[in-house]
Chains A and B, each alone.
Chain A
Amino acid sequence: MSAVKVNVRVNGTAYAREIEPRMLLCDFLREELELKGTHIGCEHGVCGVCTVLVDGESTRACLLFAVQADGAEVRTVESLAKDGQLSPLQQAFRENHGLQCGFCTPAMLMVATELLEHDPDPSLEDIREAVSSNLCRCTGYFNIVDAVRTAVAMIKEGKQ
């Protein structure tokens, strides 16, 4: 099968690659771009640990061929910390013990990022809806919800 060209911006950097059309976005990020923060858990769209933002929308990277992201802006967990400083969301996850093994964490951070970009003051129901998109096997989710609530408060405080 002939290779296809992909031009994609990932975390603000433009990349051009020639790839097989069947390459999944999660493999493209991990193997072609060496961005290992996007994980692979089930490859059938249920667990959500591969979730990234494509043009601002949470997307299962195991259910998107990389070629489909041609021309798109992709964001992964590697985009969150700036200058070695954890983002408010990342700090809130740490403060609330919102992670244990960390495998689902990047994807949880990305669905929370989408939520907060869409609505900086989400209701508890909205937070629960976002977090319920992905599986976590360690925490029981409670501390993740608390972390997102903490992040909302931190971001508000930061703006005042």
Chain B
Amino acid sequence: MKPAAFEYVRPGSLNEALQALSRHAGNAKILAGGQSLVPMMNLRMLHPAVIIDINRVPGLDAIRTDGDALVVGALARHSTLRDSPIVAKHCPLMREAYRYVAHKPIRNRGTLGGNISHADPASEMPAVLVATDATIVVKSAKGERKIAAANFFIGLMQTALQTGEMVTEIRIPIAPANQGWAFEEAANRKGDFAMAAIGATLTLTGGVCSQAAVAVAGMSDRATRLSALEALLERKPLDDDLIMRAAVLAKSSVKPDSSYHADVDFKRDLAEALTERALKNARARCK
């Protein structure tokens, strides 16, 4: 189980990386953490002619705030993000979701930019970014685009990235201090990809839900928001009864696909159970 041969390019700057990407057009793959890319190459599911290793590009791994956004460089490693006090403070949903992400040796190498570019629908981070209305900043030799997370994930392992483009940073709106959050996941083993996961943020104003964002992963070909469910919650007192109704709505509004590990009925059941738990936990964290 060995990868096919490729040409190796190691740019020393973002500009060099973008030039290389442009030069090799559709034949190149960006190598960041490689924790999804390399297994697929070892299995010979992918045969990129050129590998552009961006690990030496300076500045791509920064984690910082910029106005009302938490800004994560594409090369920031999962381990760093998981332990980052900045992330914990400004995107607690992400920190919570990292409880479920892989194992340490994988997290030590894997990057947020690589993870979302791979766009595995059962991965946790796409759901976090969709739930938080994050913006994905992508660059090419021609310039920069900003893509809303909801528009970034377009299908099974497919993103809105066009040939010659790469993710450079992820901008996540800073979570309001009074916002509650929760991430609930069902996986066969801890660290496995999700059979289903629900990420939620809630804001309560006098017991009434003034904001709700609920995203689901593992259900279909991409992470999505459950907008009907959000509409149900908003401007209503967030009592157990409403949460139960929301959970039932989650069950009926998801559009699960089927796999060996989780069939359609099971995924619907999980959507219901995890939505209930996520909403209750998020409510408990509202200030």
Contacts and interface: CB of A to CB of B under 8 A. Distances in A.
Direct contact of A and B (CB under 8 A): yes
A21 B191 CA distance: 30
B22 to A, nearest CB: 20
B39 A51 contact: no
A134 B105 CA distance: 9
Interface stretch (A8-16, A62-70, A90-98, A141-149): A62-70
Contacts of B79: 57
Given A24-B2, A45-B35, A67-B8, A62 B104 contact: no
Interface string B55-78: 100000000000000000000000
Contact of A68 (B55, B105, B190): B55
A128 B42 CA distance: 29
Given A2-B7, A64-B34, A45 B106 contact: yes
A20 B108 CA distance: 25
A133 B104 contact: yes
B8 A65 contact: yes
A64 B38 contact: yes
B43 A44 contact: yes
A63 B6 contact: no
Contacts of B39: 43-45, 63
Interface string B3-15: 1111110100000
A48 B105 contact: yes
A64 B105 CA distance: 11
A51 B105 CA distance: 7
A36 interface: no
B75 to A, nearest CB: 13
A33 interface: no
A62 B109 CA distance: 12
A67 B1 CA distance: 18
Interface string A27-59: 100000000000000011100100100000111
Contact of A21 (B6, B43, B105, B108): B6
Given A51-B105, A132-B190, A63 B38 contact: yes
B106 A60 contact: yes
B96 interface: no
B133 interface: no
Q: Which of B42, B105, B109, B191 has the most CB of A within 10 A?
A: B105
Interface string B104-125: 1110110000000000000000
Interface of A: 1-2, 4, 20-22, 24, 27, 43-45, 48, 51, 57-60, 62-65, 67-68, 111, 114, 129-130, 132-134
